[in-house]
């Protein structure tokens, strides 16, 4: 493992300030209603697109921010500090729902789907997980079989962020079922395509403002031109490349939730008085807060370091899984301590800490469970 410390550039610090201001002023006032209704404030997609915030890593000439992976991590952390649900919707769009097209798509696909998505004119989703398939991606049951100039897709996808609101979804399906793993391809399926439907919008414990659904494909006919990569096979590698990037981003998601929890808890501990003094003055509480701050600093340093190496073209498959594993597990400890310090008030819906606690619980599950990350790390170590 290469070791390299990373410090933000002036450009990245300016971007950090701009995103923080946007999250507080533009997103903040919408959170309560979005969470109560279980709806994503989709109007912010276009606003962010116009500002170059929605897809900060893509070139300026495509409508993106012209930045790097660290800037994407900054974006995600700052949005998540205010609202993990909306941040999740943005991540599904700007990462999973667009990256395969940017990296492997044809010029026509980029023109029809990627450019409008970068501008916030189209909302993207990514369909990988199925009702019976989660960690074992190679066991996908969705199939896309060639029929002349088209492919006919049959199957279903579960827990798809942005599914109910997406203008298109990138669907993983087998074109060659006899070739386990390697016979997978990615397809772009547009909203309104006959045979494609959102069978249900899912009711979740947390991240209510990230609309999540089950997608069904019943003899869904899509043009062969919608196959990403232009030929059958190779989708498994495309998935792997996309997921490595996503796992680094997850470090930033965990950071945002953890930082929000620390900020709320630190303020509460200074204000809450027991036995004649603020509870922050009790060693048992101050030590907990100190450890939370330490963990956040380690999470941020390692996430940025790995993002920097990723930008340099270094193979960070193992490091990306380490980021995902360490940050998602560590934020559970931070959230647990934050809830405990808040005492009975933490369990009340009027206190925001309970929202972050609920929102953060899923981080050890999505985009590869902690067990899967351990498997990847062990394999990369040659164990």
Q: List residues with catalytic annotation.
A: 367
Tokens 């896309």 sit at which residue?
Answer: 144
CA atoms within 13 A on the CB side of 360: 34
Kindly report the backbone phi and psi dihedral angles of residue 223, in degrees, each rounded to the nearest multiple of 5, phi listed first. -65, 145
The answer to whether the beta carbons of residues 324 and 373 sit under 8 Å apart is: yes
Q: Is 366 helix (H, G, I), strand (E, B) or coil?
A: coil
Residue 187: in which H helix or E strand, if any? strand 184-190
Residue 295's alpha-carbon distances to 192, 291, 327, in angstroms, are 46, 6, 9
Q: How is residue 353 written in tokens?
A: 């800490």
Report the DSSP beta bridge partners of residue 154.
Answer: 143
> Which residues neighbour 264 within 8 Å (Cβ) at sequence distance 6 or greater?
338, 342, 351, 352, 353, 356
From the list 296, 328, 252, the residue with the least C-alpha distance to 69 is 252
Angle value at C-alpha 319, between 19 and 332, nearest 5 degrees:
65
SS3 43: helix
- Classify residue 104 by its DSSP letter: H
Q: What does the DSSP assignment read for 262-309?
A: HHHHHHHHHH-EETTEEGGGSHHHHHHHHHHHHHHHHHHHHHHHHHHH
How many helices (H) and strands (E) the chain has is answered by 13, 10
């Amino acid at each position: 493992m290469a070791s390299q410390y990373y410090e933000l550039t002036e450009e990245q610090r300016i971007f950090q300030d701009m995103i923080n201001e946007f999250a507080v002023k533009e997103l903040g006032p919408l959170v309560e209603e979005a969470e109560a209704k279980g709806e994503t404030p989709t109007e912010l997609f276009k606003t962010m697109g116009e500002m170059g915030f929605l897809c900060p890593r893509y070139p300026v000439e495509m409508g993106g921010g012209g930045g790097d992976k660290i800037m994407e991590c900054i974006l995600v952390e700052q949005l998540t500090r205010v609202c993990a649900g909306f941040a999740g919707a943005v991540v599904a769009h700007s990462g999973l729902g667009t990256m395969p097209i940017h990296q492997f798509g044809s010029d026509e696909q980029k023109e029809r789907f990627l450019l409008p998505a970068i501008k916030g004119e189209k909302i993207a989703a990514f369909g990988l997980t199925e009702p019976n398939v989660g960690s074992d991606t190679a066991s996908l049951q969705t199939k896309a079989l060639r029929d002349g100039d088209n492919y006919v897709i049959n199957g279903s996808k579960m827990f798809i962020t942005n599914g109910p609101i997406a203008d298109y979804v990138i669907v993983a399906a087998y074109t060659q079922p006899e070739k386990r793993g390697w016979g997978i391809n990615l397809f772009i399926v547009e909203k309104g395509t006959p045979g494609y439907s959102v069978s249900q919008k899912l009711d979740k414990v947390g991240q209510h403002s990230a609309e999540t659904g089950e997608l069904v494909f019943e003899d869904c006919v899509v043009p062969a031109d919608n196959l990403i990569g232009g030929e059958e096979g190779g989708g498994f590698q495309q998935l792997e490349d996309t997921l490595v990037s996503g796992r680094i981003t997850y470090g930033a998601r965990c950071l945002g939730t953890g930082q929000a929890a620390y900020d709320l808890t630190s303020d509460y501990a200074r204000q809450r008085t027991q036995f004649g003094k603020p509870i922050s003055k009790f060693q048992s509480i101050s030590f907990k807060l100190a450890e939370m701050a330490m963990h956040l600093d380690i999470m941020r340093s390692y996430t940025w370091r790995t993002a920097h190496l990723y930008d340099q073209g270094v193979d960070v498959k193992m490091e990306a899984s380490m980021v995902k594993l360490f940050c998602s597990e560590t934020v559970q400890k931070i959230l647990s301590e934050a809830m405990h310090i808040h005492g009975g008030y933490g369990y009340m819906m009027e206190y925001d800490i309970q929202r972050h606690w609920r929102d953060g619980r899923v981080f050890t599950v999505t985009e590869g469970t902690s067990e899967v990350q351990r498997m990847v790390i062990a394999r990369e170590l040659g164990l």
